[in-house]
Structure 1
């Protein structure tokens, strides 16, 4: 499982770089804000264009998508209910907590894991597209409306995503993938270059937050952090397994693909969203940290049991 460990090690080292830069006072919290904004408004949309344009979108129509969606829905709804009736969270905080419990790192970590554990990086495509085309636009619509201080309406859900740079990047990438069109090289190469800044920008900003922010669990109930972590590492892959195996009849390698992709840790861009909208930033940060560390043994165990 060398490639799996290398994927986690790469992420950890870049995060550590951000923490080191903050520790030696080369950067401050304002640098974190700037990096997060650049990642959100500029680099991430560019990365989405180039990533989705090269994805086989027909894979999203496979039966794997049903199990993947179930694996997302159960932990997200579980957290939303607890946030509403136990911790009385607002809609913005609830969205970030639900994403922390169910939105997997399908990009910079999912691709190498899929390539090594599953033998083909395209196995992560259904998860990637489900998140980018459905979960992320809906979540951002709610966050946009919550930031404006008004109730979410159907019009917000339908229209606001199309004003968001991440959604626009996703849709442009999907258009290129479906039609087979390719951007002219003089346009495509600058977009690819800018997009390459997204992942390191997110990770360095996250490392700065780890060093300058409150300690682990600071300012949030420990039970809430434990819930988001358990939902992500245990409930999500378990639900995906049950639906894929018993409802869809999947077995062998297709079953392994669904469960491994569902067991990936919480994506770093959830922290970018939390920072951008100033909602549940500590919960997002700490869930990412715990699930990234915990996903290593979980994925190795799944590969051993189902591989």
Structure 2
């Protein structure tokens, strides 16, 4: 369990640093948006490119992928359906809402938890690559459509992924991995340095937003926040477990992996994306905060019950 607490502690320290910098007026809301923009357009693409370059895309096409994908689909549909009951849906807000319910923190927390709790870092590869190559490009395309000043033609909608820096970097990284080609050191090393800034920038920007914005739980209706967090930490792992056990017949180790990874909190880059597009920022911020705190006992409980 040391890996679980270590991963959460690292995130907590950087978020607290962001809150401190905001409290001391070193970074204001304008600075927070600059950090988020830098992470979105520069640091995150560099990180995705260098990480995916060294990945094994074949690992994403595993049985555990089916359980993870099914769980994401279940919570996204539930979120859209239940949100629709409260009134008409805004495309941008609905997209961010669905991401808060189904997009897991596979990078910052998934890797240490896979290493120290599940015993194999490779177990996080299917859900990590699925999010980077499928969920994120789809969500970004929907958000591009949502913020477009005029109605986009089908051609422009389909071409949107080719203009988004995160999608371009992900595709380039996978292409390099499939081809076996490696970037020369003169290119890879600077990208690696810039990519190393992505996660700290996201977390510090998030901490600034926590300090300068409304307190968590006061910025969005409790029912809306409760729906997102409940789906994230209860419905998603339950769906992954059900599909893995009864539909796919996964062995205990694989079943534990898909269930634990589905119970990870909402990823910080959901807040960066929400900030970039100006949609449901407070929901993303609060869902990350609450789900991160609540996922610690959730992961411990799942591990105790299944392992």
Give the deviation of 1:109 after TM superposition. 1.2
User: Which position in structure 1 is the counterpart of 2:140?
Assistant: 140
Shift, 1:20, TM fit: 0.5
Q: Within 1, Cα distance between the matches of 2:180 and 2:304?
A: 38
Q: Which residue of 2 aligns with 1:163?
A: 163
CA distance in 2, matches of 1:257, 1:82: 28
- Partner Cα separation in structure 2 for residue 52 and residue 300 of structure 1: 29
- Closer, same or farther: CA 153–236 of 1 in aligned 2, 3 Å: farther
> What is the CA–CA distance in structure 2 between the aligned matches of 1:258 and 1:157, rounded to whole Å?
33
**Where does the alignment leave 5 or more consecutive residues of structure 1 unmatched?**
none
| Distance verdict in 2 for CA 1:151–1:71, change over 3 Å | farther
Alignment partners' CA distance in 2, 1:132 and 1:13? 26
Is the 2:137–2:167 Cα contact (8 Å) retained in structure 1?
A: yes
Distance 1:152 1:293, change over 3 A: farther
| 2:264 alignment partner in structure 1 | 264
Residue aligning to 1:174: 174
Give, in angstroms, the shift of residue 219 of structure 1.
3.8
How much has 1:82 moved relative to structure 2?
A: 2.4
CA contact (8 A) 2:75 2:236 kept: yes
* Aligned ranges 1:47-62 → 2 under 5 Å: 47-62=47-62
Going from structure 1 to structure 2, the CA distance change for 1:137 and 1:157 (only over 3 Å counts) comes to: farther
In the alignment, structure 2 segments of 5+ residues that lack a partner are none
> Is 1:141–1:156's contact at 8 Å kept on the other side of the alignment?
no
Work out the CA distance in 2 between the residues paired with 1:154 and 1:135.
Answer: 19
The two structures have a TM-score, normalised by structure 1, of: 0.97
SS at match of 2:279: coil
> Using the alignment, how far apart are the partners of 2:145 and 2:34 within structure 1?
23
Alignment partner of 1:118: what SS?
Answer: coil
Separation in 1, partners of 2:221, 2:16:
26
Moved more, 57-66 or 229-238: 57-66
Distance 2:74 2:156 in 1: 24
Q: Does 1:45 align with 2:38?
A: no
1:248 aligned residue: 248
Q: Distance in 2 between matches of 1:277 and 1:79?
A: 20
Whether 1:36 and 2:47 are equivalent positions in the alignment is no
Structure 1 residues 44, 289: CA separation in 2 closer, same or farther (over 3 Å shift)?
same
Decide whether the 8 Å contact of 2:145 with 2:157 is kept in 1.
no
Change (3 A) 1:150 1:90: farther
Q: Could you list the per-position Cα deviations for residues 79-98 of structure 1 after superposition, in whole angstroms to 9, with x for gaps in the alignment?
A: 11222331433100000000
